[in-house]
């Protein structure tokens, strides 16, 4: 297998280093805007140098972002080259374009590292759905948010202090919006649900709420009631369709999710045969992520395509009702008073997310039963 790398950052360099130890694959070209010198690969700055090279059969996209990553990946497929990507935003956003194109061109397309980094979550979903119906997927899918919430819970830090610590350690970007507002998890749960359920979700029907409004006083209330807050992405098969959303959630202190530390992920599927199966590990990092990129390269070389057939367009139905912890401005039904906050009666996921959009100072978290 002759490989071209798009990008030579954390993941790209990891892929290069791992493949150098293998005899069945070789990185021969690297697209990189910086001047780099490699002993066995040519650095190029023009994508045409890769697209017009007939010796290259596979392209690894490790650039990140949507543009020009999308244009380059699409062009690679149109040139008859297999594509492996670690870019969850790209694969999720252009799911409806890239899957049919890969099938049309007869090329491999894999993205295991896009969700869960080194866990191998999407390849596990692929195996699971072959022999059973999956009823639910999701869990802790963003290491940045988990690090912040874990530090607030265990060390008593406030949100700003925990965020600064995450940034200092490289767990959070200088602009952490994509992580803390739940967008990263949103991409991951949409992609996971598409594969698990064989659908293609309408983005606008999947609501998302992050953790940026949480306060230290919220954490103290949770602890007093035996609860821990985590940001969860959830996808469920329901009687009427599929319920998919991202939001803070309160889990019992003895639950697996409550005890996931630092920047780790814990992602779960529930099947009608296997019941619950959970996968735990590093959600990012050079070698854990590059490991699954190379696993995808091995699968592509063996003739594997995407994890599930392309499914029909589907809107999420978030009429599921839950109890919620709410601080700030709630005037609906109340079932408990938590000394400055309340536990609501049953409110649908759709209605609570709509309410949060009109109450910018409020914080809400579902209460997991």
Active-site residue numbers?
A: 188
Q: Are 258 and 153 in contact (CB under 8 A)?
A: no
Give the helix, strand, coil percentages of the chain, each rounded to 5.
35, 25, 40
Q: Are 299 and 127 in contact (CB under 8 A)?
A: no
Task: Report the alpha-carbon distance of residue 221 to residue 95 in Å, rounded.
Answer: 41
What string of DSSP letters covers 265-319?
Answer: EEEEEEETTTEEEEEEEES--HHHHHHHHHHHHHHHHTT---SSPPPPEE-----
Q: Are 1 and 15 in contact (CB under 8 A)?
A: no
Q: Are 288 and 328 in contact (CB under 8 A)?
A: no
Task: Report the alpha-carbon distance of residue 369 to residue 251 in Å, rounded.
Answer: 8
Cβ-proximal residues to 76 (8 Å cutoff; 6+ apart), any chain: 50, 51, 59, 61, 83
CA angle 305, 306, 309 (to 5 degrees): 110
Q: What is the DSSP letter of 366?
A: E
Residue 90 has φ and ψ, to the nearest 5°, of -65, -50
Q: Which two tokens stand for residue 364?
A: 């809400």
Task: Report the alpha-carbon distance of residue 166 to residue 164 in Å, rounded.
Answer: 5
Q: Are 345 and 337 in contact (CB under 8 A)?
A: no
């Amino acid at each position: 297998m002759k490989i071209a790398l798009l990008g030579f950052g954390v993941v790209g360099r990891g892929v290069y280093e791992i493949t150098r130890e293998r005899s069945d694959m070789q990185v021969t070209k690297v697209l990189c805007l910086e001047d780099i010198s490699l002993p066995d690969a040519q650095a190029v700055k023009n994508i045409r140098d890769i697209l017009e090279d007939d010796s290259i059969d596979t392209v690894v996209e490790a650039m990140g972002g949507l543009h020009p990553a999308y244009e380059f990946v699409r062009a690679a497929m149109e040139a008859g080259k297999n594509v492996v990507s670690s870019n969850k935003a790209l694969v999720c956003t252009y799911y409806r374009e890239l899957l049919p194109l890969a099938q049309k061109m007869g090329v491999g397309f894999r993205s295991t590292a896009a969700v869960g980094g080194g866990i191998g979550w999407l390849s596990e979903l692929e195996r699971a759905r072959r022999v059973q119906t999956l009823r639910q997927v999701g869990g802790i899918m963003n290491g940045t948010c988990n690090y912040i919430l874990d530090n607030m819970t265990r060390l008593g830090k406030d949100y700003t202090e925990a965020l600064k610590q995450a940034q200092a350690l490289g767990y959070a970007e200088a602009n952490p919006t994509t992580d803390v507002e739940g967008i990263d998890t949103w991409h991951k749960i949409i992609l996971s649900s598409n594969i698990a359920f064989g659908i293609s979700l309408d983005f606008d029907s999947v609501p998302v709420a992050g953790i940026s409004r949480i306060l230290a006083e919220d954490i103290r209330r949770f602890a007093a009631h035996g609860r821990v807050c985590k940001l969860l992405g959830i996808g469920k098969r329901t009687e009427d369709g599929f319920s998919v959303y991202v939001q803070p959630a309160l889990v019992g202190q003895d639950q697996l999710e409550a005890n996931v530390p630092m920047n780790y992920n814990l992602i779960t599927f529930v099947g009608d045969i296997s019941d619950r199966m959970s996968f735990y590990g590093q959600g990012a990092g050079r070698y854990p992520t590059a490991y699954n990129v190379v696993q995808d390269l091995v699968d592509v070389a063996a003739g594997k395509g995407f994890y599930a057939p392309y499914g029909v367009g589907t809107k999420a139905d978030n009429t599921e009702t839950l109890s919620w912890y709410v601080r700030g401005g709630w005037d609906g039904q109340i079932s408990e008073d938590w000394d400055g906050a309340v536990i609501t009666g049953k409110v649908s996921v759709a209605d609570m997310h709509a309410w949060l959009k009109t109450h910018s100072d409020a914080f809400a978290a579902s209460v997991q039963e």
